[in-house]
Amino acid sequence: MAGHNNKPVNQQESSMKQTQYVAREPDAQGFIHYTAEEHAVWNTLITRQLEVLEGRACQEYLDGIDKLGLPHDRIPQLGEINKVLGETTGWQVARVPALIPFQTFFELLASKQFPVATFIRTREELDYLQEPDIFHEIFGHCPLLTNPWFAEFTHTYGKLGLQASKEERVYLARLYWMTIEFGLVETPQGRRIYGGGILSSPKETVYCLSDEPEHQAFDPLEAMRTPYRIDILQPVYFVLPELKRLFDLAHEDIMGMVKRGRELGLHAPKFPPKAA
């Protein structure tokens, strides 16, 4: 199964669905209380995933993990994350419910706030969760938000999404999926992972770097035209030449690419249709 993703392209349809998870409200001091079992789930997830990521995650992500200093024995408080993000790139995390509308998602990114749902999956759903939980958001995405290149692209993406039409947003969402969620990058040490959807999923972490899926050199227009499904291992991954490519892309005419993508249309899917 695929990773645990903040899926902007599916937020609108997802918001129609019910979720068993309820985001935790902070107390009067802004502290969120979790149960011992929830802290234990966090410990299982982070311990296991850090082992799997050895030799597979890009250095910029690992540097971010060091900067955040994530605890292993408990779920971190959002204030701890905000302190580090604020000092490194000026970003913050924002507490949200399990699923948020497209518009809210773009508004948050445009104001340098990354949405974090304050619940954690149950032990029954350790390996795959359709909703984005606190482990996916904090462990998968926040380390790279300490990186100025990644942070710049995410901020630009939010601003563009805010101005885009509903039809344009679908193309933008595919670009997000193929980069921020499921992106790979070439490094002097070999091919590595930077996408948060992979980084928080043990199965996809191993699979994405194997010979099984297709790897394509990153081309933003191609990424926008490539269909995907959220509930399967990805059949194709786009590989950046270096992480700084995201920063450069933030200063290119992304909306012009969206216009071209809409003219050219979508590629044929590399996966079977979802069973009804």
Told to judge if 267 belongs to the known catalytic residues of this protein, a careful annotator would answer: no
Among residues 38, 60, 136, 204, which one is catalytic? Answer: 136
Q: Return the ∠ at Cα 74 (arms to 69 and 77), rounded to 5°.
A: 70
Instruction: Tell me if 218 sits within 8 A of 167, measured CB to CB.
Output: no
**Amino acid (one-letter) located at 112:** K
Cα 167 to Cα 17, 97, 136, distances in angstroms? 22, 25, 27
Told to judge if 210 belongs to the known catalytic residues of this protein, a careful annotator would answer: no
Among residues 38, 60, 131, 181, which one is catalytic? Answer: 181
How far is C-alpha 256 from the geometric centre of its chain's CA atoms?
24
Strand runs labelled E in the chain:
92-96, 113-117, 184-187, 190-193, 214-217, 236-240
Among residues 141, 152, 186, 204, which one is catalytic? Answer: 141
Told to judge if 181 belongs to the known catalytic residues of this protein, a careful annotator would answer: yes
Instruction: Tell me if 266 sits within 8 A of 225, measured CB to CB.
Output: yes
Among residues 155, 200, 204, 222, which one is catalytic? Answer: 200
Q: Which residues neighbour 210 within 8 Å (Cβ) at sequence distance 6 or greater?
A: none
Q: Which residues neighbour 254 within 8 Å (Cβ) at sequence distance 6 or greater?
A: 156, 157, 160, 172, 175, 220
Q: What is the DSSP letter of 57?
A: B
| Phi/psi at 236 (5° precision) | -140, 140
Told to judge if 137 belongs to the known catalytic residues of this protein, a careful annotator would answer: no
Question: What token pair was written down for 259?
Answer: 């216009």
Scan for tokens 């071209």, then name that residue: 260
> Known catalytic residues?
136, 141, 181, 200
